[in-house]
Every structure is written in C-alpha cells, then in structure tokens.
A and B are shown apart, each in its own frame.
Chain A
Amino acid sequence: MSKSDIKRLSRKFRKKVLSTSKQFGVDAATVDREILREAILYLRDDTKLLFDYLREITCVDHHEREPRFEIVYVFYSMSRKKQVVIKTALPEDDATVDSICDIFGAANWGEREISDMYGVKFQGHPDPRRILMYEEFEGHPLRKDYGKQNSQPRVALLADEREPIEEETQAPDEEPEEQDSHQAEESDSAEETQTPDEGQEESDA
C-alpha cells in the first residue's frame, strides 16, 4: 500500500514519471531513463520514503513491442515496511541505461546478469563481464528470439543431443494408413503362420 509514495514521486518528477499502475497489491511507476538515477536517489534519501533495500532487478523482453526491454527494480523500505516497483523502458536499438551500482551494491550482479542474458548495457558498471554463460558463448539467451534449444557445446559431443522431430505433413491421411497397416499386420501374421510349416517341410526334405 505505497500508493502515496508513488504519488510523491510523481509530484517531484512530473512529466518524467510516464505511468503508474497498481496490480495485485504492487504499486509500480514507469520512469523515463534520463531521470532514473535521480529518482532512485530520491527514493533512497528522502526522509518520508527511505527505500534502502534493492530486492530485485530484472528485465522483461516484450518481443515485438517498442520499446522492447523493460528493466524492473523492486525497492523495499526496511524501516517503513513498504515496497515499490520502478520500471524503465528501453528501445531495442539503444538498450543502454545508467548503472546504479554505486547507489545500491546489490545491483552489481543483477545488472551483470541482465547484460549477459538480454544484452542491455549498463553505463558506468565497474565490472561488465559475463556472469552466467561462458566466454565463448555468443548471443543473449533469454531474449525471445533466441531458440530455447539452441545450445553451443564447448566439448565435441559423442552423439546428437536431440533427435530431429519428424515433420507432421499428412495428419488426415493417418487413419487410412492405420487401416492399411492393420490389414498388412493381418496378412503378415497369416504369412508368419505359414512360414514355420514351410520351414519344417524344408527341414524334413
């Protein structure tokens, strides 16, 4: 129930708070990325707000919507026991945002994970290495256009990882084919009952 905190934020940064929302008890504000650092400093330092705990920092990839990426910060106030969510939208061709590592030390690995998985660049990050994937890996796996099973093995594999999926081309023809196969099975079984007799006759001969 931190709606008043969102209102306080909107009053301070009037036009740069682009939208606010409330969903499932969570109050969120979407903020222009130019004032992101100012807004987060305001949330942390203002005596009425005191959001001093960064709980979560994630990214959402809206695949075909412009702006494509949305960085989500979840802040919590330890003294007031209130939670608020701040979001920033980034376009696909300019997916950069200021890093907040010097404000909240907890953002360090979270921002590294987002830059590894989504390709968003954080300006001013002290250690912008890959964190989850290995160095030879190419691409950003949690983007919606990265194939889910598109693996890049580091070691020469002894066999194929997955079997190729047979294409489903003739779905309605399957039923007559099954009937044909039933008839074929019946004729096969008839032939099979004959062959042992023939085998015995041959062995006798």
Chain B
Amino acid sequence: MGVDQKMPEVTTTTLDSLVDWARKYSIYRYPFVTASSDLEHMSAASDSHDMARFGAEVPSVSPKHADLLLVVGAVNHKMAPYLRAIYEQMNEPRWVVALGDAASHGGPYDNYSTVQGVDKIIPVDVHIPGNPPGPEQILDGLTKLQQKIESKN
C-alpha cells in the first residue's frame, strides 16, 4: 500500500491492523471438495455449528474472488493438476486450509493414486486433523487461520 510512504508509521500500523481485522472476519472460502469430510464441513457451515459467527459463511464459486482455498477430502494424482491450476488463479492474499486427514497427509489412503497430503502440491497454512474432523475442530482450525492472518501481516 502506498500509504506507508506518505503517512507516519503509527497511522500505517493502525491501518494494517484494521485491514487484517477486516480480512480475517470476512473470509471468502472456495470449497474444493472431493470426499466425505464435506459432510462435516457442511455441518460446520450450517445452523447448529455456525460459521457465520466468524464471518466465513460466504462460499465463493470462483477462485478469483476467494481468499481461502479449503481443500476437503482426498486428492488424487489425477486431480492434482486441477488443484494446482485453481490455486494459481487465486489472487493474493490467499490462504490454504487442508481439512481432514486425507487432505493433510493422505489419511488411510496409502496407495498409488492418492497424494499423501495436499502440501505436496500447494503450500498449506493450516491442517485440520480428523477423519472426518468434527465441526468443532473445523471451527477451531478457522480460528487458527484467523490468528495467522492477524499475525502474518
């Protein structure tokens, strides 16, 4: 931002933290869903475990509008080029969350077709463990991502 060249440092820091606050409480997620962890993800996004409390209820249908690439479920080697293409289409700032064991490290699918962790294809910020993770763990991962958004910039 060109502001920090013209205004004193105190104002820039406050502006940065204001921008981080806005970013972390209005995450547009792009759910890249392949497998069964989506049931828990949908449950976390709907009424009983509410993701709208954290401001992240809007799913984006286009990667160009999204902040967060939420990889849900196992990714195959057949699917890997398309996941990479979608990640590269996202504009900065962008974050990636690997939801579930299969997306984090391959999970129970230790074979020739499943990539042993999405972090072998794209850089991942937060891994959410569980097979599938319960909605509370998904919301916990979301708060960790918010802490990361706040502290990184």
Contacts and interface: CB of A to CB of B under 8 A. Distances in A.
Nearest to B120: A157
A66 B116 CA distance: 36
B67 to A, nearest CB: 21
B117 interface: yes
A166 to B, nearest CB: 17
Interface size class of B (residues with CB under 8 A): 10 to 19
B115 interface: yes
Say whether chain B's binding surface is mostly helix, strand, loop, or mixed: loop
Given A146-B112, A147-B112, A148-B111, A158 B120 contact: yes
A157 B121 contact: yes
Contact of B110 (A134, A149, A157, A158): A149
Interface in A124-157: 133-134, 141, 146-155, 157
B110 to A, nearest CB: 6
B116 A133 contact: no
Nearest to B124: A158
Contacts of A146: 112
A132 to B, nearest CB: 8
Contact of B81 (A150, A155, A158): A155
Nearest to B84: A155
Contacts of A148: 110-112
A22 B27 CA distance: 60
Interface of A: 133-134, 141, 146-155, 157-159, 161-162
12 contacts: A134-B78, A141-B112, A146-B112, A151-B112, A153-B115, A154-B77, A154-B78, A154-B80, A155-B80, A157-B120, A158-B122, A161-B106
Given A133-B113, A154-B80, 15 more contacts: A133-B78, A134-B78, A146-B112, A148-B110, A149-B111, A151-B113, A152-B77, A153-B77, A154-B81, A157-B120, A158-B119, A158-B121, A158-B122, A158-B123, A159-B119
